[in-house]
Amino acid sequence: MAVQLNSYLNFDGKAEQAFNFYKSVFGGEFLTFQRFKDNPMGANLSAADGEKILHVALPIGNNGVVLMASDTLESMGQTWKPGNEFTLSLHLDSIEEGQKYFDALAAGGVVGAPFEKAFWGAHWGMLTDKFGMKWMVSYDPKPTT
């Protein structure tokens, strides 16, 4: 079993500014840079929310570590406050492993999004464990971003 654990940061509308800064510090190129307007629900968002960052991924060094982030959207019931600015993002080798870890971490916690196929093609789910830690669990047959 190969597991990759990355940090996933949440911003209050500053993800693009922050990640351009991180790119200037660490170098490299974005693996992913996606705005909310570019996803299937994007047409339902305000112009301002549509321009915010849905997902950005920047490799840090050459050891497989990827720093990822998104902006929070109050229009989707998300609020940014100190303490919820990060999530642990767990990437697994198979759907079965992903489901196993998702179910184990969700026990006694709260599921935000079930572990299932997402619009970008990966299997993905989000939860808060019984200790209040936020997790995303993912299996993507493509390289992890």
Report the DSSP beta bridge partners of residue 58. 67
Q: Which carries the bigger pLDDT value, residue 61 or residue 141?
A: 141
The per-residue pLDDT for range 65-107, each reduced to its tens digit, is 898 899 988 766 666 566 567 778 888 889 998 998 899 989 9
What is the maximal distance between C-alpha atoms in the chain?
42
pTM of the predicted protein model: 0.66
Domain ranges of the chain: 4-139
Say if domain 4-139 classifies as CATH 3.10.180.10. yes
Give the per-residue pLDDT at 21.
87
Task: Write the CB contacts of 34 (distance below 8 Å, at least 6 apart in sequence).
Answer: 53, 54, 55, 56
Q: What secondary structure letter does DSSP report for 109?
A: S
